[in-house]
Structure formats: structure tokens, C-alpha cells
Amino acid sequence: MSLHVVVGSGPVGSGTALLLASRGDQVRVVSRSGGGPEHPNVERVAADAGDAGRLSALAEGAVALYNCVNPAYHRWLTDWPPIASALLTAAERSGAVYVMTGSLYGYGEVDGPMTASTPLAATHPKLKLKADMWRAALAAHEAGRIRATEVRGSDYIEANSIFSFGLGAPLLAGKRAWSPTPLDVSHSWTSISDVAAVLTTVATDERAWGRAWPVPTEPPLTVRELATRFTAVAGVGEPKLSRIPAPVLGAIGLFSPMVKELRTTAYQFTRPFVLDSSESTEVFGLKPRPIDDSLREAVRSLSEG
């Protein structure tokens, strides 16, 4: 039974841990709270992800070390650097393959679909931070200090999503939902279960090491199209949608750090923001989860929460 260490107990970390555990692997989930999924093969440990010594000890003997940490977005510049440094140190000391949960932020504004080879051209400090984390891991990989790979998906569907952040509850209640983004621009949406599937695949496949991989993702949908599919699977009729006026959004941002940060990523919704994930399908045979299945899970999560 191989040991896999998953750092972070949020939706991605928990999903990854459960997938590994269901395959018969031993999984150690590390988080500040000591949380994580309940499973006979899952051990939950409370620890600071920024503590390199503690993290290195917990990763000793592991096949792979997964970065599934998700600091609050408005705290990225303060929280990420020590965590990223500790994870690199733990990967080097333990010899575990370092598997990073990436995103599309590092690309910055793009023209055309994004692939793993699209230049990481983001210039905003928070967006560039994500790109720099991968550059540091890749440099360590190329120097022979670690083995590293990264997985990049777009905005999630089931959790930490546009539905859980505001649209879902009113749509399920048959009320008007207010979107902070444009409603009719094509956008890629990624299933968390597909993120977990790629993370666990690239961890043990040498072909994956030393580069990044896009998460298999269904064809893009606009916010309006995605909301229409969401209400259809929920059985609540056509969605009532409006966009929050910019002055109102700005006023909300004065009191909400999360809403304030939307200005940084607004470019992702003002023109097509599309992930081309064909390479992962071609190399690993992975296909995206049907989007309606992911939306049903989003509905279930909101209904239970």
C-alpha cells in the first residue's frame, strides 16, 4: 500500500484523497484544521503547511506530495510564499513526486484557447505568483532536486464556484440571481472530480513529470448557458439572471475582500476564456466528466448546505 500525502482538505484535496483511498492507497491528509474525508485508508493530520520541517516529516516515505492548498484569494501574497517554499522543501527532502494543483491565472490575458504550452505571461502580482510557483518547482525539477508536475483547470463547477458564491441559492429558489460577471461570454468550467483524476494520474506516470497538464474540460459555456443547465438539472425552470452594475459591485467590494478581488480576474469574463485540454485526453486517455453530472453535484451540495 503506497503512501500519498495530500496537503489541503478542501474540495480538491478531499476529492483527491478519496480517489486515492478508493484505489487502495494509504492517504495522509494534512491541513491546519486536521479535517478531511472519512475513509479507512485516510489519516487526517493537523499541521501548518508553511512549516517545512513538519511537512517534510509527514511526507517521509510518500510516493507523492500533492499541493491542494487554497488560501483565501485576498491573502495570496502573504500566505502562498511560505507554503510554496515548505512544499518544495518537503518534496526535496522526502523524494516524493511533487504534484501541484495549478490554475489558469498564470497565463494572464490571452488571445485564443489556453494549453500547457501557452506562455505564462501574467503581470499582476497575484496572478504572476501562481506562475512563479510553477517556475520555481520546474527549476528544481530540471536541477534534479525534485520530480514535479502541475495540473491546470479552469473555474470549478461543484464547489468554490459561481453557484456556491452567489448564483446557486436564488436560482434554486426560483428567484433572480445577480452575476458579478458578464452573462454571455464563453468560459471554460472544470469539474473538481476531473482535477482529482489528473492529479492522481500524473503523480505516478513518468511521462507527466517536468511539465504541466490541462484538466480534461467540457466545451465552454457562457454564464447564462451554465445557469440554464444548472436550473434544468435542478428542475426549477428557466433561470432569472441579471448582471450586477459595476458601481454596485464596487460598493460591495468596500466591505467584501472577496468581491474586491474580482477586479483582478475580471478579464477572464470580458472575452472568451477557453481551456484546450485535448493533450491530456490524448496522452492519458482521460475524458471530462459530463457537465450535467457536475451540476447535479453542485445542486446537491447547495441543497444539503
Output the CA–CA distances (angstroms, integers) from residue 207 to 45, 71, 104, 259, 303, in the order listed. Answer: 31, 30, 22, 40, 41
Read off the DSSP letter of residue 164: I
Q: Tell me which amino acid residue 260 is.
A: K
pLDDT digit string (tens) for the chain, length 305 residues: 799 999 999 999 999 999 999 999 999 999 999 999 999 999 999 999 999 999 999 999 999 999 999 998 889 999 999 999 999 999 999 999 999 999 999 999 999 999 999 999 999 999 999 999 999 999 999 999 999 999 999 999 999 888 988 899 999 999 999 999 999 999 999 999 999 999 999 999 999 999 999 999 999 999 999 999 999 999 999 999 999 887 776 776 666 776 677 788 889 999 999 999 999 999 999 999 999 999 999 999 998 87
What pLDDT score was predicted for residue 165? 85
Total residues found in the chain within this entry? 305
What pLDDT score was predicted for residue 253? 66
Enclosing H/E stretch for 299? helix 291-304
What pLDDT score was predicted for residue 1? 78
Q: Tell me how far apart the alpha carbons of residues 196 and 64 are, in angstroms, rounded to a whole number.
A: 14
Set of cell numbers at residue 295? 451540476
Read off the DSSP letter of residue 25: -
pLDDT tens-digit map of 217-268:
999 999 999 999 999 999 999 999 999 887 776 776 666 776 677 788 889 9
What pLDDT score was predicted for residue 120? 97
* CB contact at 8 A, 222 and 187: yes
What pLDDT score was predicted for residue 265? 85
What pLDDT score was predicted for residue 144? 98
Q: Which long-range contacts (CB under 8 A, 24 or more apart) does 167-173 make?
A: 167/227, 167/230, 167/241, 168/230, 168/298, 168/299, 168/302, 169/302, 171/227, 171/230, 171/231, 171/234, 171/236, 171/239, 171/240, 172/231, 172/234, 172/236, 172/299, 172/302, 172/303
Q: Any alpha helices (H) in 27-124, and if so which ranges?
A: 52-59, 76-94
Return the half-sphere exposure (C-beta side, CA atoms, 13 A cut-off) of residue 245. 3
Q: Tell me how far apart the alpha carbons of residues 126 and 114 are, in angstroms, rounded to a whole number.
A: 19
pLDDT tens-digit map of 168-200:
999 999 999 999 999 999 999 999 999 999 999
